[in-house]
Structures are given as C-alpha cells and as structure tokens.
Amino acid sequence: MNVDVVVYDGFDELDGIGPYEVFDHAFAVDAADAGRVRYVTLDERETVTASHGTRVGVDGALPDPTAANAPDLLVVPGGGWRARNEEASAWAEAQRGDLPDALARYHDADVTIASVCTGSMLLAEAGVTDGRRAVTHASALDELRESGARVVDARVVDDGDLITAGGITSGIDLALYLLEREFGEPTAARVATVLEYERRGDVAGPA
Amino acid sequence: MNVDVVVYDGFDELDGIGPYEVFDHAFAVDAADAGRVRYVTLDERETVTASHGTRVGVDGALPDPTAANAPDLLVVPGGGWRARNEEASAWAEAQRGDLPDALARYHDADVTIASVCTGSMLLAEAGVTDGRRAVTHASALDELRESGARVVDARVVDDGDLITAGGITSGIDLALYLLEREFGEPTAARVATVLEYERRGDVAGPA
C-alpha cells in the first residue's frame, strides 16, 4: 500500500504527520515491503509551512492518479478551516480550487481517499463527499452537512473508498483503522502499542 | 513561557511535534502573549530528519541556559533508542555525548526540562534523572531504572523541574499537563477539545 499525504501551506501538523508516522511504523516492521508513505504537494515544492509554523520537507509532487507511481491511498489533512483571513489554510485551498480539483480527479480514478479533520471540507469542495457518509472536525460539522454529505457521529467513518476522521488527533485512529482494514488487527495493535496510544472513539464501518 | 523543543536527526516525529502543536495552540489563543514555541538544535542547522523521514525546519540554535533568550522550558524528544546501528537516533546522541552535556548544563542552571519517550534516556545519560522520579518508553524502562532513576508507573511524572512522559503519544498528555500546571485546567481542556484528544493515563504529581 503506497500512501501519499498531500500537504499544503497551512495544513495542521498532527493531521498529516500523525497518520504518516503510523503508516511508517507499520511499513518499517510488520508490513515490510508492503508499502511506503510520502509527503507530496500539488506542485513541486521543497517545503511547506504547517499551520503552527512547522516547516516540513516535501518528497515529491502528487502524481496523476493514473500514473504508475500514483498512491493506493491519498491522505488529506485539514487545517485552519475557520481562519478565513489566512492565506495558508484548508479554507484558502478550498477557495483557490486547485487542490479540490486534484482530489476530484483522484476520486474519479477510484483511488481510496482518507481525510483528517477539515481535510473533509476540501473533499466536500471537490464534490467527493456528496451523499456520502463522512465526518470532520467538530467546528465544521454543520458546513459538511450543508454541503450534502451524510454526517455520521463517529471518530472514523469508513465509506468504502472514502474514509474520514474527526479533528486532529483522530488522524491517528484513522491510520490505525486503515492498518487494521488492510493488514489485520495485530498490525494495528502492534503499532498502537509502540506509539503508547489507546485507540478510542467509534469507527462507523461500511454501511 | 518560552518553550524550546530540542530536535536532532532521528528524533521521533510525534515526540517533538505533538508537544509543539499543543503549546502553539495555547499560545495562539488562550495564553496569547504568554509564550512561544520553537524547534532548536544543538548546533545551528537548517533542518533535521526525524526517525520516520520527516524533514523538519529548525528555528535556531539552543541558547546557553543563562542567555536572555534561553527557554523557560526545554522539551527533549526521544527516538530510536533500540536502533543501536542507526547513526541518527536518541541512542546515537547519547553515545556522542554533546546533547547530554547541554542537557546537564540546562539542569544545572535550574531550567525546567520535560522529556518525551526515550528523551528520558538522554537525561539519564546526562545524570539529570539520577535519584529522580521519572518514566520513559516501555522499551527502555529497565535501562532507565538501572541508570539510577526512580521509575514511576505513570503516563506523565511531575518531579518539579523535571517532567517526563512515557512513549510517543504521551508527549501530548505531557504538554497538556504542563498547560494545566502553568495556565490552569481550562486552558488545557480547551486545547484538548480543539485537538479532539481525550487526555488519558495517570499523571504522578510532585512527591
């Protein structure tokens, strides 16, 4: 399972880095040779600056979804949805439209997409969550509902090729759930143990 | 409260970035003008590469503990303590000795030090934990005990000017506890709510 975490200026650090570290723990040990995880940006960039100021190195540009090196799973972090006057945020990316357009192309190409926090709102902007079961950060639930998604009260919502999570730290639960779904519960449990993390909250499974 | 997170090649991403984000959430809102948080390195560096490959930008060099810009709180992440053949890890830093020496100078200057995960082992190497109540990642508890620390079974151990936490994600609980200690429970609760994080595990308070 090749995983790309698509980052942008203003993404929330833990939204993106939490799932990245969960996947890398799995790929490094249990699921060796089973995958890799990268940070990618829409356009070629050296670094992005996250919402709390962390500068994060970028591993490459997001490939075309039909390219040979396209990921099997695209992770979309949120960040700064309510910071409407910030130029670097999920909200700003939604207004610009290029990232939502890329997400729509990924969805049309049947690539599995997982969002953390207000990453779901970028998917909503892309039309990906329309009529689908989904969740987002508590502060954006009303907007997600108004966008046409079927909001589910859970920490992680599995809707098949669309998996969404609640706010910030729920990205850790999302990634552990995806390990369980793809590699089995023992892999997820082992990584949670190393992280000294107690998985919590409901996972709403496929309908 | 000025906070420096001292990073190095091989530090565990979440050990350092988790507390960084918790503090920045507080300083950005509730405790505005109450502090700032930075990533620092022992020697001037542009970036460090964390244990799972994340490249993180550095904000400056760790000041002398008596300098005007010295932090009030120094956070020490762990990373790769068992990776004995890695050149970039907490273990490698313990062998090299420069970082433990700097931590000893900070301790001698009565600066409060908080460690996450096997960051405690760097403090043990520095002699800081000798005879003190402390904890570390589960995989290093025996070594911490053998080093002369008084190991306490808790997720966070407050020993006054030395606060230690268990593995990886316990750094989030450590930072939330420090917010509670310095700014009061409502600030910690507000940040935990934004993070959608349920604080968990015991905090062993001052003896």
- pLDDT tens-place string over residues A36-54: 999 999 999 999 999 999 9
What is the average pLDDT value for chain A, to the nearest integer? 95
Can you list the domains of chain A with their CATH numbers?
A: 2-200 (3.40.50.880)
Stated pTM of the model: 0.97
Dist CA B21 CA A95 (whole Å): 25
- Predicted-complex ipTM score: 0.96
CB contact under 8 A, B54 and A39: yes
Contact A56 B57 (CB under 8 A): yes
pLDDT in tens, A163-178: 999 999 999 999 999 9
Cross-chain residue pair B200–A195, CB shorter than 8 Å: no
The pLDDT of B185-196, averaged and rounded, is 96
Nearest to B174 by CA among B138, B136, B147: B136
Between CA A4 and CA A81, with CA A111 as vertex, the angle to 5 degrees is 60
Distance (Å, whole) CA B113 – CA B16: 13
Under an 8 A CB cutoff, do A194 and B168 touch? yes
Average pLDDT, chain B: 95
From the candidates B7, B9, B13, B25, which should be mutated to test the interface with A, based on the most A CB atoms within 10 A? B13
* Interface residue A141 vs chain B (CB under 8 A): no
**A198 contact B CB<8A:** yes
Distance in Å, alpha carbon of A23 to nearest chain B alpha carbon: 10
The backbone torsions φ and ψ at residue A93, rounded to the nearest 5 degrees and listed phi first, read: -65, -40
List the one residue out of B130, B133, B124 whose CA is nearest residue B160.
B133
Range of weakest confidence among A84-88, B28-32, B119-123, B135-139 = B28-32
